[in-house]
A and B are shown apart, each in its own frame.
Chain A
Amino acid sequence: MLKIDHLYFSYNNVKNLLTDINFTLNDGEYISIIGSNGSGKSTLIRLILKLIEPTDGTINNTFKNMAYVPQRFNQLNIHFPITVREVLASYKKVRHNGCQDISEVLNLLNLKEKEQTLIGQLSGGQCQKVFIARALLGNPDLLVLDEPSNGIDVKSRDEIYELLANLNKSKKMSIICVEHNLQAAVKNSTLLYHIKKGHGHMCLPERYAQEYIKNDLGDIKC
Protein backbone atom coordinates (compact mmCIF):
# COMPACT_ATOMS: atom_id res chain seq x y z
CA MET A 1 0.00 0.00 0.00
CA LEU A 2 1.07 3.52 -0.73
CA LYS A 3 -0.43 6.34 1.32
CA ILE A 4 0.41 9.98 0.70
CA ASP A 5 -0.70 12.55 3.28
CA HIS A 6 -0.58 16.33 3.00
CA LEU A 7 2.35 16.23 0.67
CA TYR A 8 3.94 19.54 -0.34
CA PHE A 9 6.81 20.02 -2.71
CA SER A 10 8.75 23.02 -4.06
CA TYR A 11 11.84 23.17 -6.24
CA ASN A 12 14.19 26.08 -5.59
CA ASN A 13 12.88 27.86 -8.65
CA VAL A 14 9.32 26.48 -8.70
CA LYS A 15 7.53 27.13 -5.43
CA ASN A 16 4.47 25.14 -4.35
CA LEU A 17 4.55 22.82 -7.33
CA LEU A 18 2.58 20.28 -5.33
CA THR A 19 0.34 21.43 -2.48
CA ASP A 20 -1.56 19.16 -0.14
CA ILE A 21 -1.49 15.99 -2.21
CA ASN A 22 -3.39 13.10 -0.64
CA PHE A 23 -3.95 9.70 -2.11
CA THR A 24 -3.91 6.04 -1.35
CA LEU A 25 -2.98 3.23 -3.68
CA ASN A 26 -4.11 -0.15 -2.42
CA ASP A 27 -2.35 -3.34 -3.45
CA GLY A 28 -3.36 -4.44 -6.91
CA GLU A 29 -4.69 -1.07 -8.03
CA TYR A 30 -3.70 0.71 -11.23
CA ILE A 31 -3.62 4.48 -10.93
CA SER A 32 -3.12 6.81 -13.87
CA ILE A 33 -1.82 10.26 -13.06
CA ILE A 34 -2.93 12.91 -15.50
CA GLY A 35 -2.44 16.64 -15.79
CA SER A 36 -1.03 19.21 -18.15
CA ASN A 37 2.66 19.60 -18.97
CA GLY A 38 4.66 20.93 -16.07
CA SER A 39 1.92 20.23 -13.53
CA GLY A 40 4.30 18.10 -11.46
CA LYS A 41 3.41 14.55 -12.46
CA SER A 42 6.98 13.38 -12.88
CA THR A 43 7.91 15.16 -9.68
CA LEU A 44 5.24 13.24 -7.79
CA ILE A 45 6.66 10.01 -9.15
CA ARG A 46 10.17 10.99 -8.14
CA LEU A 47 8.88 11.62 -4.63
CA ILE A 48 7.23 8.21 -4.53
CA LEU A 49 10.47 6.58 -5.70
CA LYS A 50 12.37 8.45 -2.96
CA LEU A 51 14.65 10.16 -5.46
CA ILE A 52 13.72 13.47 -3.84
CA GLU A 53 12.41 14.39 -0.40
CA PRO A 54 9.04 16.08 0.18
CA THR A 55 9.10 19.66 1.49
CA ASP A 56 6.36 18.64 3.89
CA GLY A 57 3.99 15.75 4.49
CA THR A 58 4.47 11.98 4.51
CA ILE A 59 4.64 9.13 2.05
CA ASN A 60 3.91 5.79 3.59
CA ASN A 61 5.07 3.02 1.33
CA THR A 62 4.81 -0.67 2.13
CA PHE A 63 5.86 -1.89 -1.32
CA LYS A 64 9.07 -3.84 -1.07
CA ASN A 65 10.11 -3.91 -4.64
CA MET A 66 9.51 -0.89 -6.85
CA ALA A 67 10.55 -0.64 -10.48
CA TYR A 68 10.57 2.39 -12.70
CA VAL A 69 10.22 3.06 -16.40
CA PRO A 70 11.58 6.59 -16.90
CA GLN A 71 10.11 9.27 -19.13
CA ARG A 72 13.29 10.31 -20.74
CA PHE A 73 14.03 7.30 -22.91
CA ASN A 74 13.45 9.64 -25.84
CA GLN A 75 16.27 11.90 -24.72
CA LEU A 76 18.54 8.91 -24.39
CA ASN A 77 22.04 9.24 -25.80
CA ILE A 78 21.50 7.11 -28.90
CA HIS A 79 25.23 6.66 -29.36
CA PHE A 80 25.67 5.00 -26.00
CA PRO A 81 27.35 1.66 -26.75
CA ILE A 82 25.15 -0.80 -24.91
CA THR A 83 23.11 -3.76 -26.13
CA VAL A 84 19.67 -4.78 -24.96
CA ARG A 85 21.21 -7.76 -23.24
CA GLU A 86 23.77 -5.58 -21.42
CA VAL A 87 21.03 -3.25 -20.15
CA LEU A 88 19.15 -6.19 -18.69
CA ALA A 89 22.19 -8.09 -17.45
CA SER A 90 23.56 -5.12 -15.53
CA TYR A 91 20.17 -4.62 -13.87
CA LYS A 92 20.07 -8.24 -12.91
CA LYS A 93 23.59 -8.11 -11.52
CA VAL A 94 22.85 -5.02 -9.45
CA ARG A 95 19.63 -6.45 -8.01
CA HIS A 96 21.33 -9.77 -7.38
CA ASN A 97 18.31 -11.48 -5.87
CA GLY A 98 15.15 -13.04 -7.23
CA CYS A 99 15.33 -11.86 -10.81
CA GLN A 100 13.60 -13.56 -13.70
CA ASP A 101 15.37 -15.07 -16.63
CA ILE A 102 16.43 -12.44 -19.17
CA SER A 103 15.19 -14.54 -22.10
CA GLU A 104 11.79 -14.98 -20.48
CA VAL A 105 11.29 -11.25 -20.11
CA LEU A 106 12.52 -10.65 -23.63
CA ASN A 107 10.01 -13.17 -24.96
CA LEU A 108 7.23 -11.51 -23.00
CA LEU A 109 7.95 -8.25 -24.81
CA ASN A 110 8.71 -9.77 -28.22
CA LEU A 111 12.28 -8.57 -28.07
CA LYS A 112 14.04 -11.90 -28.37
CA GLU A 113 15.72 -11.21 -31.70
CA LYS A 114 16.84 -7.76 -30.53
CA GLU A 115 18.92 -9.17 -27.69
CA GLN A 116 22.29 -8.24 -29.20
CA THR A 117 21.12 -4.98 -30.78
CA LEU A 118 22.45 -1.65 -29.61
CA ILE A 119 19.93 0.52 -27.78
CA GLY A 120 20.49 3.36 -30.24
CA GLN A 121 19.47 1.19 -33.19
CA LEU A 122 16.03 0.36 -31.80
CA SER A 123 12.84 2.19 -32.65
CA GLY A 124 11.22 4.33 -29.96
CA GLY A 125 8.67 1.66 -29.19
CA GLN A 126 11.26 -1.13 -28.95
CA CYS A 127 13.40 1.03 -26.71
CA GLN A 128 10.49 1.72 -24.39
CA LYS A 129 9.83 -2.00 -24.26
CA VAL A 130 13.44 -2.62 -23.22
CA PHE A 131 12.97 -0.31 -20.25
CA ILE A 132 9.74 -2.10 -19.37
CA ALA A 133 11.54 -5.44 -19.66
CA ARG A 134 14.24 -4.15 -17.34
CA ALA A 135 11.62 -3.05 -14.82
CA LEU A 136 9.88 -6.44 -14.94
CA LEU A 137 13.10 -8.43 -14.45
CA GLY A 138 13.00 -8.00 -10.70
CA ASN A 139 9.34 -9.08 -10.28
CA PRO A 140 8.24 -5.73 -8.84
CA ASP A 141 5.17 -5.39 -6.63
CA LEU A 142 4.82 -1.75 -7.71
CA LEU A 143 5.54 -0.70 -11.27
CA VAL A 144 5.91 3.02 -11.90
CA LEU A 145 5.83 4.33 -15.48
CA ASP A 146 6.18 7.86 -16.79
CA GLU A 147 4.27 8.44 -20.02
CA PRO A 148 5.02 5.01 -21.51
CA SER A 149 3.26 5.68 -24.82
CA ASN A 150 4.70 9.10 -25.54
CA GLY A 151 6.14 9.26 -29.04
CA ILE A 152 6.02 5.57 -29.94
CA ASP A 153 4.34 3.62 -32.72
CA VAL A 154 0.77 2.37 -32.41
CA LYS A 155 1.69 -1.31 -32.45
CA SER A 156 4.15 -1.04 -29.55
CA ARG A 157 1.69 1.16 -27.70
CA ASP A 158 -1.07 -1.44 -27.92
CA GLU A 159 1.33 -4.20 -26.89
CA ILE A 160 2.45 -2.20 -23.89
CA TYR A 161 -1.07 -1.45 -22.66
CA GLU A 162 -2.17 -5.02 -23.16
CA LEU A 163 0.79 -6.16 -21.11
CA LEU A 164 0.15 -3.63 -18.34
CA ALA A 165 -3.53 -4.59 -18.10
CA ASN A 166 -2.51 -8.22 -18.03
CA LEU A 167 0.10 -7.75 -15.30
CA ASN A 168 -2.39 -5.80 -13.23
CA LYS A 169 -5.19 -8.32 -13.62
CA SER A 170 -3.45 -11.68 -13.56
CA LYS A 171 -0.39 -10.94 -11.43
CA LYS A 172 -2.09 -8.35 -9.23
CA MET A 173 0.82 -6.02 -9.85
CA SER A 174 0.18 -2.49 -8.57
CA ILE A 175 0.80 0.15 -11.20
CA ILE A 176 1.25 3.91 -11.17
CA CYS A 177 1.35 5.39 -14.62
CA VAL A 178 1.76 9.02 -15.60
CA GLU A 179 -0.41 9.29 -18.65
CA HIS A 180 -0.78 11.50 -21.66
CA ASN A 181 -2.94 8.95 -23.36
CA LEU A 182 -6.37 9.59 -21.86
CA GLN A 183 -8.02 6.68 -23.66
CA ALA A 184 -5.58 4.20 -22.17
CA ALA A 185 -5.94 5.79 -18.76
CA VAL A 186 -9.71 5.48 -18.78
CA LYS A 187 -9.66 1.98 -20.24
CA ASN A 188 -7.04 0.33 -18.02
CA SER A 189 -6.78 2.02 -14.69
CA THR A 190 -8.86 1.50 -11.60
CA LEU A 191 -8.40 5.13 -10.54
CA LEU A 192 -7.43 8.43 -12.10
CA TYR A 193 -5.53 11.08 -10.25
CA HIS A 194 -5.68 14.51 -11.81
CA ILE A 195 -3.14 17.18 -10.86
CA LYS A 196 -3.98 20.77 -11.61
CA LYS A 197 -2.33 23.90 -10.26
CA GLY A 198 -0.63 21.96 -7.48
CA HIS A 199 -3.76 20.26 -6.23
CA GLY A 200 -4.87 16.77 -7.03
CA HIS A 201 -8.07 14.85 -6.95
CA MET A 202 -8.95 11.25 -7.41
CA CYS A 203 -11.79 10.15 -9.62
CA LEU A 204 -13.17 7.03 -11.17
CA PRO A 205 -12.21 6.57 -14.82
CA GLU A 206 -15.81 6.29 -16.06
CA ARG A 207 -16.91 9.43 -14.31
CA TYR A 208 -13.89 11.26 -15.60
CA ALA A 209 -14.69 10.17 -19.08
CA GLN A 210 -18.24 11.41 -18.81
CA GLU A 211 -18.02 14.65 -16.95
CA TYR A 212 -14.55 15.91 -16.49
CA ILE A 213 -13.49 15.80 -20.07
CA LYS A 214 -16.12 18.30 -21.10
CA ASN A 215 -14.69 21.07 -18.95
CA ASP A 216 -11.07 20.27 -18.99
CA LEU A 217 -10.11 18.83 -22.31
CA GLY A 218 -8.05 21.85 -23.28
CA ASP A 219 -5.82 21.12 -20.35
CA ILE A 220 -4.82 17.67 -21.41
CA LYS A 221 -3.51 16.29 -24.65
CA CYS A 222 -5.15 13.03 -25.57
Chain B
Amino acid sequence: MLEYSFMQNAFLISFFIAALCPVIGMFLVLRRYSMMGDTLSHASLAGISIGMLANQNPVLSSFIVVSMFSIIIEWLRKHFRTYAELILVIVLSLSIGIAITLLSSGLVHANIDSLMFGSILTVTKSDFYWVLFFSVISLFLVYRYYAELMFIVFDEEGAVIAGANVKLINYLFAVLVAATISISIRIVGILVISSLIALPIAASLQLEKSFKQTLWYGILFSYIDIFSGIVLSYWLDAAPGGIIAINSVILLLIVLFYKHKIRSNKKRIIQE
Protein backbone atom coordinates (compact mmCIF):
# COMPACT_ATOMS: atom_id res chain seq x y z
CA MET B 1 0.00 0.00 0.00
CA LEU B 2 2.77 2.42 0.97
CA GLU B 3 4.70 1.70 -2.20
CA TYR B 4 2.30 3.91 -4.16
CA SER B 5 3.32 7.54 -4.21
CA PHE B 6 -0.30 8.72 -3.96
CA MET B 7 -0.63 6.77 -0.72
CA GLN B 8 2.54 8.36 0.60
CA ASN B 9 1.18 11.79 -0.25
CA ALA B 10 -2.16 10.97 1.31
CA PHE B 11 -0.52 9.82 4.55
CA LEU B 12 1.78 12.82 4.69
CA ILE B 13 -1.09 15.24 4.18
CA SER B 14 -3.27 13.40 6.67
CA PHE B 15 -0.57 13.63 9.28
CA PHE B 16 -0.99 17.40 9.29
CA ILE B 17 -4.71 17.83 8.76
CA ALA B 18 -5.45 15.25 11.46
CA ALA B 19 -3.71 17.54 13.94
CA LEU B 20 -5.00 20.84 12.63
CA CYS B 21 -8.72 20.02 12.25
CA PRO B 22 -9.45 19.20 15.91
CA VAL B 23 -7.25 22.06 17.14
CA ILE B 24 -9.27 24.58 15.16
CA GLY B 25 -12.42 22.56 15.84
CA MET B 26 -11.95 22.87 19.60
CA PHE B 27 -12.33 26.65 19.47
CA LEU B 28 -15.19 26.51 16.95
CA VAL B 29 -17.16 23.95 18.93
CA LEU B 30 -16.75 25.82 22.21
CA ARG B 31 -17.93 28.98 20.51
CA ARG B 32 -21.02 27.11 19.35
CA TYR B 33 -19.91 27.70 15.81
CA SER B 34 -19.23 24.19 14.57
CA MET B 35 -21.44 24.73 11.51
CA MET B 36 -18.93 27.30 10.29
CA GLY B 37 -16.88 24.39 8.95
CA ASP B 38 -19.77 23.35 6.77
CA THR B 39 -20.36 26.83 5.39
CA LEU B 40 -16.71 27.46 4.67
CA SER B 41 -16.22 24.10 2.99
CA HIS B 42 -18.80 25.22 0.45
CA ALA B 43 -16.95 28.48 0.12
CA SER B 44 -13.89 26.42 -0.69
CA LEU B 45 -15.76 24.80 -3.56
CA ALA B 46 -16.23 28.31 -4.94
CA GLY B 47 -12.55 28.97 -4.30
CA ILE B 48 -11.44 25.84 -6.11
CA SER B 49 -13.64 26.64 -9.13
CA ILE B 50 -12.33 30.19 -9.31
CA GLY B 51 -8.80 28.82 -8.99
CA MET B 52 -9.35 26.45 -11.90
CA LEU B 53 -10.71 29.34 -13.94
CA ALA B 54 -7.55 31.32 -13.16
CA ASN B 55 -5.30 28.29 -13.50
CA GLN B 56 -4.03 28.41 -9.92
CA ASN B 57 -3.31 25.68 -7.40
CA PRO B 58 -6.67 24.79 -5.83
CA VAL B 59 -5.37 24.83 -2.25
CA LEU B 60 -4.14 28.39 -2.67
CA SER B 61 -7.19 29.75 -4.48
CA SER B 62 -9.46 28.06 -2.00
CA PHE B 63 -7.50 29.57 0.89
CA ILE B 64 -7.86 33.08 -0.53
CA VAL B 65 -11.60 32.82 -1.18
CA VAL B 66 -12.39 31.01 2.07
CA SER B 67 -10.37 33.53 4.09
CA MET B 68 -12.40 36.30 2.53
CA PHE B 69 -15.69 34.65 3.44
CA SER B 70 -14.41 33.71 6.88
CA ILE B 71 -13.43 37.31 7.61
CA ILE B 72 -16.83 38.51 6.39
CA ILE B 73 -18.52 36.03 8.75
CA GLU B 74 -16.42 37.24 11.67
CA TRP B 75 -17.29 40.84 10.82
CA LEU B 76 -21.01 40.09 10.54
CA ARG B 77 -20.92 38.14 13.80
CA LYS B 78 -20.41 41.44 15.62
CA HIS B 79 -23.31 43.09 13.85
CA PHE B 80 -25.90 40.31 13.79
CA ARG B 81 -25.26 38.71 17.14
CA THR B 82 -28.78 37.35 17.45
CA TYR B 83 -28.85 35.82 13.97
CA ALA B 84 -25.52 34.03 13.90
CA GLU B 85 -26.87 31.01 11.98
CA LEU B 86 -28.43 33.27 9.39
CA ILE B 87 -25.01 34.69 8.54
CA LEU B 88 -23.77 31.18 7.83
CA VAL B 89 -26.73 30.50 5.56
CA ILE B 90 -26.15 33.71 3.59
CA VAL B 91 -22.49 32.96 3.03
CA LEU B 92 -23.28 29.36 2.17
CA SER B 93 -25.81 30.42 -0.46
CA LEU B 94 -23.45 32.90 -2.05
CA SER B 95 -20.54 30.50 -2.26
CA ILE B 96 -22.51 27.50 -3.44
CA GLY B 97 -24.09 29.82 -6.03
CA ILE B 98 -20.71 30.86 -7.38
CA ALA B 99 -19.47 27.27 -7.42
CA ILE B 100 -22.49 25.79 -9.18
CA THR B 101 -22.55 28.56 -11.76
CA LEU B 102 -18.89 28.10 -12.64
CA LEU B 103 -18.98 24.30 -12.61
CA SER B 104 -22.22 23.91 -14.55
CA SER B 105 -21.52 26.55 -17.18
CA GLY B 106 -18.63 24.49 -18.51
CA LEU B 107 -16.17 27.30 -17.83
CA VAL B 108 -14.21 24.92 -15.62
CA HIS B 109 -14.00 21.16 -15.66
CA ALA B 110 -13.52 19.46 -12.34
CA ASN B 111 -14.02 16.03 -10.94
CA ILE B 112 -16.99 16.87 -8.74
CA ASP B 113 -16.94 13.49 -7.05
CA SER B 114 -13.46 13.90 -5.70
CA LEU B 115 -14.22 17.43 -4.50
CA MET B 116 -17.35 16.32 -2.69
CA PHE B 117 -16.24 13.02 -1.23
CA GLY B 118 -12.48 13.47 -1.00
CA SER B 119 -9.90 11.45 -2.84
CA ILE B 120 -6.53 9.95 -2.18
CA LEU B 121 -5.76 9.31 -5.81
CA THR B 122 -5.68 12.93 -6.92
CA VAL B 123 -3.43 14.46 -4.28
CA THR B 124 -0.14 15.66 -5.67
CA LYS B 125 3.28 16.56 -4.28
CA SER B 126 2.51 20.24 -4.79
CA ASP B 127 -0.68 19.85 -2.76
CA PHE B 128 1.48 18.39 -0.04
CA TYR B 129 3.81 21.38 0.04
CA TRP B 130 0.85 23.76 0.37
CA VAL B 131 -0.55 21.63 3.17
CA LEU B 132 2.82 21.63 4.92
CA PHE B 133 3.14 25.39 4.55
CA PHE B 134 -0.33 26.25 5.86
CA SER B 135 -0.45 23.71 8.64
CA VAL B 136 2.95 24.54 10.11
CA ILE B 137 2.10 28.25 10.19
CA SER B 138 -1.39 27.61 11.56
CA LEU B 139 -0.23 25.25 14.29
CA PHE B 140 2.48 27.69 15.27
CA LEU B 141 -0.01 30.57 15.51
CA VAL B 142 -2.40 28.54 17.65
CA TYR B 143 0.52 27.63 19.90
CA ARG B 144 1.61 31.26 20.10
CA TYR B 145 -1.88 32.62 20.88
CA TYR B 146 -3.13 29.60 22.82
CA ALA B 147 -3.82 31.53 26.05
CA GLU B 148 -5.61 34.33 24.23
CA LEU B 149 -7.74 31.95 22.16
CA MET B 150 -8.70 29.91 25.21
CA PHE B 151 -9.51 33.08 27.17
CA ILE B 152 -11.65 34.48 24.34
CA VAL B 153 -13.78 31.36 23.89
CA PHE B 154 -14.24 31.09 27.64
CA ASP B 155 -15.00 34.76 28.33
CA GLU B 156 -14.71 37.17 25.42
CA GLU B 157 -15.65 40.25 27.44
CA GLY B 158 -13.19 39.35 30.17
CA ALA B 159 -10.48 39.03 27.54
CA VAL B 160 -11.22 42.55 26.27
CA ILE B 161 -10.92 43.95 29.81
CA ALA B 162 -7.75 41.98 30.46
CA GLY B 163 -6.24 43.79 27.49
CA ALA B 164 -6.09 41.04 24.87
CA ASN B 165 -6.35 42.25 21.30
CA VAL B 166 -9.56 40.31 20.86
CA LYS B 167 -10.55 41.77 17.50
CA LEU B 168 -7.24 40.99 15.87
CA ILE B 169 -7.12 37.49 17.30
CA ASN B 170 -10.66 36.76 16.16
CA TYR B 171 -9.81 37.79 12.61
CA LEU B 172 -6.59 35.82 12.74
CA PHE B 173 -8.57 32.82 13.89
CA ALA B 174 -10.99 33.30 10.98
CA VAL B 175 -8.04 33.00 8.61
CA LEU B 176 -6.78 29.90 10.44
CA VAL B 177 -10.16 28.26 9.94
CA ALA B 178 -9.91 29.08 6.25
CA ALA B 179 -6.46 27.53 6.03
CA THR B 180 -7.57 24.39 7.82
CA ILE B 181 -10.51 23.87 5.52
CA SER B 182 -8.60 24.59 2.35
CA ILE B 183 -5.94 22.01 3.08
CA SER B 184 -8.32 19.34 4.33
CA ILE B 185 -10.70 19.43 1.39
CA ARG B 186 -8.49 17.35 -0.92
CA ILE B 187 -8.48 14.29 1.27
CA VAL B 188 -11.76 14.39 3.15
CA GLY B 189 -13.96 16.28 0.72
CA ILE B 190 -16.36 19.14 1.10
CA LEU B 191 -19.21 17.18 2.60
CA VAL B 192 -17.21 15.67 5.42
CA ILE B 193 -14.95 18.44 6.62
CA SER B 194 -17.30 19.72 9.31
CA SER B 195 -17.58 16.30 10.92
CA LEU B 196 -13.80 16.12 11.08
CA ILE B 197 -13.71 19.49 12.77
CA ALA B 198 -16.47 18.76 15.28
CA LEU B 199 -16.63 15.04 16.04
CA PRO B 200 -13.20 14.29 17.53
CA ILE B 201 -13.76 17.23 19.88
CA ALA B 202 -17.32 16.13 20.61
CA ALA B 203 -15.84 12.79 21.70
CA SER B 204 -13.03 14.27 23.77
CA LEU B 205 -15.42 16.68 25.52
CA GLN B 206 -17.20 13.62 26.91
CA LEU B 207 -14.11 12.77 28.93
CA GLU B 208 -14.51 15.95 31.03
CA LYS B 209 -10.84 16.85 31.18
CA SER B 210 -8.98 20.13 31.27
CA PHE B 211 -8.82 22.33 28.18
CA LYS B 212 -5.38 21.08 27.25
CA GLN B 213 -6.21 17.41 27.77
CA THR B 214 -9.45 17.76 25.85
CA LEU B 215 -7.45 19.18 22.98
CA TRP B 216 -4.90 16.35 23.04
CA TYR B 217 -7.60 13.68 23.18
CA GLY B 218 -9.32 15.42 20.26
CA ILE B 219 -6.10 15.17 18.25
CA LEU B 220 -5.69 11.51 19.19
CA PHE B 221 -9.26 10.69 18.13
CA SER B 222 -8.79 12.60 14.91
CA TYR B 223 -5.68 10.56 14.07
CA ILE B 224 -7.59 7.36 14.68
CA ASP B 225 -10.52 8.53 12.51
CA ILE B 226 -8.42 9.72 9.59
CA PHE B 227 -5.78 7.04 9.37
CA SER B 228 -8.19 4.18 9.78
CA GLY B 229 -10.37 5.93 7.19
CA ILE B 230 -7.59 6.17 4.64
CA VAL B 231 -6.47 2.58 5.07
CA LEU B 232 -10.03 1.31 4.79
CA SER B 233 -10.75 3.49 1.79
CA TYR B 234 -7.74 1.97 0.05
CA TRP B 235 -8.92 -1.57 0.74
CA LEU B 236 -12.55 -0.93 0.01
CA ASP B 237 -11.77 1.35 -2.90
CA ALA B 238 -14.29 3.88 -1.54
CA ALA B 239 -13.95 7.64 -1.07
CA PRO B 240 -12.05 8.42 2.15
CA GLY B 241 -14.50 11.14 3.20
CA GLY B 242 -17.35 8.75 3.79
CA ILE B 243 -15.33 6.25 5.77
CA ILE B 244 -13.72 8.95 7.89
CA ALA B 245 -17.18 10.32 8.72
CA ILE B 246 -18.47 6.89 9.70
CA ASN B 247 -15.36 6.20 11.77
CA SER B 248 -15.68 9.43 13.69
CA VAL B 249 -19.29 8.70 14.57
CA ILE B 250 -18.38 5.16 15.67
CA LEU B 251 -15.54 6.48 17.81
CA LEU B 252 -17.87 9.02 19.41
CA LEU B 253 -20.36 6.25 20.20
CA ILE B 254 -17.62 4.11 21.72
CA VAL B 255 -16.55 6.98 23.96
CA LEU B 256 -20.15 7.61 25.02
CA PHE B 257 -20.64 3.92 25.77
CA TYR B 258 -17.39 3.72 27.72
CA LYS B 259 -18.32 6.81 29.74
CA HIS B 260 -21.75 5.42 30.49
CA LYS B 261 -20.24 2.14 31.63
CA ILE B 262 -17.75 3.82 33.93
CA ARG B 263 -20.54 5.92 35.40
CA SER B 264 -22.74 2.94 36.15
CA ASN B 265 -19.77 1.00 37.54
CA LYS B 266 -19.04 3.85 39.90
CA LYS B 267 -22.66 3.91 40.98
CA ARG B 268 -22.60 0.19 41.65
CA ILE B 269 -19.44 0.50 43.74
CA ILE B 270 -20.98 3.31 45.76
CA GLN B 271 -24.15 1.31 46.27
CA GLU B 272 -22.22 -1.74 47.41
Contacts and interface: CB of A to CB of B under 8 A. Distances in A.
Secondary structure dominating the interface of A: mixed
B205 A79 contact: yes
A67 B161 contact: yes
Contact of A51 (B30, B160, B209, B211): B160
B214 A70 contact: no
A81 B211 contact: yes
B164 interface: yes
A93 B147 contact: yes
B3 interface: no
A87 interface: yes
Interface in A63-121: 66-68, 70, 79-83, 85-87, 89-91, 93-95, 116, 118
Contact of A81 (B147, B148, B151, B210): B210
Interface residues of A, number: 24
Contacts of A89: 147
Chain B: number of interface residues, binned into ranges: 20 to 34
Given A49-B161, A51-B160, A94 B210 contact: no
Contacts of B148: 90, 93-94
Contacts of A87: 154
Nearest to B149: A90
Interface string B158-170: 1111111000000
B208 A81 contact: yes
B237 interface: no
B157 A51 contact: yes
Nearest to A117: B210
B151 A90 contact: yes
Secondary structure dominating the interface of B: helix
A41 B268 CA distance: 49
B162 A82 contact: no
Contacts of B272: none
A93 B209 CA distance: 21
Contacts of B159: 94
A80 B154 contact: yes
Give the one of A90, A116, A138 with max B CB within 10 A: A90
B212 interface: yes
Contacts of B162: 91, 94-95, 138
Contacts of A66: 161
A81 B205 contact: yes
B150 interface: yes
A216 B150 CA distance: 44
Contacts of B213: 81
Contacts of A90: 147-148, 150-151, 154
- Which 4 residue pairs across A and B have the least CB separation, nearest first? A93-B147, A90-B147, A90-B151, A81-B214
Given A79-B205, A82-B211, A94-B163, 8 more contacts: A51-B160, A67-B161, A81-B210, A85-B210, A90-B148, A90-B150, A90-B151, A94-B164
Interface of A: 49, 51, 66-68, 70, 79-83, 85-87, 89-91, 93-95, 116, 118, 134, 138
